[in-house]
Amino acid sequence: MKAITTATLKKWKQEGKKFASLTAYDASFAATFESQGVPVMLVGDSLGMVLQGHRDTLPVTVEQIAYHTRCVRAGAQKALIIADMPFMSYATREQAFESAAALMQAGAQMVKLEGGEWLLDTVRGLTERGIPVCAHLGLTPQSVHQFGGFKVQGRDSEQANRILEQAKGLEQAGASLLVLECIPSALARHITESLSIPVIGIGAGPDTDAQILVMHDVLGITSGYIPKFSKNYITEHGTIQAAAAAFVREVEEGIFPAAEHGFE
């Protein structure tokens, strides 16, 4: 696999080539995923739940994300590495600059932030300073208490229009990627078609430019609950390598996600 950059992903969108992404938290899994063709990995604040055992992502710190980013970068030399900006690590522009610098210095090539209008100045400031940004709309886990739980977003027309306008605003502010989580498939398709930057979906239907899943769900390492939008690949394919390769292949061929993995 050649080194993956933001330019690579934008070219793939222009060509209509879908791509897969997985979360990763250490060197061994990162190396394994890269060997099976996973081009993008996210060091997600999901580590608070899947590694640390918390109920949500809120306790995760910048230092913890930086540590795991260094581990992932050690294992994956060519994949594009995105690092999550944890809860309240970008409440102000200055705080965002400091947090992003720490994550980029740890080996990330892009940082991910959750939120819409209030982040536009921050996104501009980061991109002006040479830090690529992945925006995140829909079900944003750091706002779980505001939403009243992990609930699908954008089902009514007012909320759907707001998410669409936020997506356009974030692109104009300089975001290089957008993650859409747990929104209706039709809305995700409309947003994907409206933007020139690649859109990565999770629980957002089959029509986004890419798909991302938490590695623990793909490998069946869960407490028994598998989200509707996910798929356990290990049961069918037997090994971690084969599971990762199957996920990549099914995303590229448009097999995953199927209709049952999305929301109306």
Residues known to be catalytic? 181
Helical axes 120-128 vs 157-173, angle rounded to 10°:
20
Tell the residue number behind the tokens 């996910």, with chain if given.
230
DSSP 257: S
Ligand-binding annotation for 236, yes or no, is no
Q: Is 84 within any annotated ligand binding site?
A: yes
- Residue 260 assigned to a binding site: no
Of 245, 256, 200, which is closest to residue 37 (Cα–Cα)? 245
For residue 103, the one-letter residue type is L
Instruction: Confirm or deny that 56 is annotated as ligand binding.
Output: no
Outline where the chain has alpha helix (H).
Answer: 6-15, 27-35, 47-50, 62-75, 93-105, 120-128, 144-147, 157-173, 185-194, 215-218, 234-237, 240-252
Element (H, E) at 178: strand 177-181
The two beta strands, 40-43 and 19-23, are: parallel
Give the residue ranges of the annotated binding site for 3-methyl-2-oxobutanoate: 45-46, 84, 112
Give the residue ranges of the annotated binding site for Mg(2+): 45, 84, 114
Give the residue ranges of the annotated binding site: 45-46, 84, 112, 114
